[in-house]
Amino acid sequence: MALPIILADQRLAERRGIKAVIFGKSGIGKTSLLWTLPPDTTLFYDLEAGDLAIEGWSGDTIRPRTWEECRDFAVFIGGANPAITEGRPYSPGHFNQACAKFGDPRGLDKYATIFVDSITVAGRLCFQWAKEQPEAFSEKTGKPDVRGAYGLHGREMIGWITHLQHTRAKNVFFVGILDEKLDDFNRKVFAPQIDGAKTGLELPGIVDEVLTMAEMADAKKKLHRVFVCHTMNQWSYPAKDRSGRLDVVEEAHLGRLIAKIGEPGRSPLDRLTFSRPAPTAPTQSPSPDQENTP
């Protein structure tokens, strides 16, 4: 069998979706971001059951209630992973079962964007499921094993996110709550509100964009909702821009964000170029010994 090399022209002609996670404090308006997406091409993956903020939004919705349904919808949306053994989640067999349950997957072709609200609730559903699995109980005593439950939970969450991330032709936006805490040195730190540490640590490396939705004041001290997009930002918010096209702060509008990421950007070589800062004059006068040194 010949190696299936994808030629440059083919790769450049492929439709590539954006995979992003949006973190923000509770009540900042994350669900309301649906109003900034076209309803006829957006599928709302509603896990929160808190759609009051988008009452009147005319897009389609799915409402998983269990972790098994979350996995079923993920494989239905993303298709089968041929590398996974039959009988396991996201395998060809699992995809066929999802198709028998939900219908023809070609019905999803009209959707350009999947909006998942929220990854925080997905983590809770996953952990509730994980606590009931055999791996969450000690083989010797039969008592609950919290470490086993968290280990299974981490693998399941990463598998679910990764499968949706590999849905190349669609944009996928995960929404999650951002917690603000103080560390041992009384410094402000931010962390995603997700059960278990594994998902929060590995998630930024899976998606293309990590955005923090925050409130910032303009020159007239009027507050606006914005996205913080760069890893190096003065507020220490979690953020990442793999596209290289976004500014440190962008308008909290997903439609315009998608359009900007699709525009021609700076050359990757330009983004990697280091500009050495110009030397500055010393701030202190030289000592008498230094003045007399030849």
Domain assignments of the chain as residue spans, ordered by start = 13-206
Where are any strands of DSSP class E within 30-152? 42-46, 60-62, 113-117
Mean pLDDT of 65-87: 96
Distances (CA, A) of 82 to 87, 92, 184, 234, 254: 12, 6, 46, 43, 32
| pLDDT tier for residue 277 given thresholds of 50, 70 and 90 | low
CA distances from 274 to 37, 198, 239, 246 (A): 37, 33, 21, 19
- Which stretch of DSSP H or E encloses residue 9? helix 8-13
Q: Which residue has the higher pLDDT, 196 or 84?
A: 84
Q: pLDDT band for position 53 (50/70/90)?
A: confident
* pLDDT score recorded for residue 132: 96
Nearest alpha-carbon partner for 78 in 158, 176, 162: 162
Q: CA-to-CA distance for 206 and 162, rounded, in angstroms?
A: 7
* CA 235 – CA 189 distance, rounded (Å): 9
Mean pLDDT, to the nearest integer, of 157-170? 95
Backbone angles phi, psi at 268, to 5 degrees: -55, -35
**What average pLDDT does range 46-74 have in this prediction?**
93
As a whole number, the mean pLDDT across the chain is 89
> pLDDT > 70: what percent of the chain?
86
pLDDT at 291: 46
Give the burial string for 233-256 (b: 16+ CB within 10 Å, else e): eeeebbbbbebebbebbbebbbee
Domain topology for 13-206: Rossmann fold (3.40.50)
Q: Considering the entire predicted model, what is its pTM?
A: 0.86
Least confident of 148-152, 178-182, 208-212, 255-259: 178-182
pLDDT of residue 183: 84
Indicate the SS3 state at residue 223.
strand
Tell me if 248 sits within 8 A of 228, measured CB to CB.
yes
Give 113-122 pLDDT, tens digit per residue: 999 999 999 9
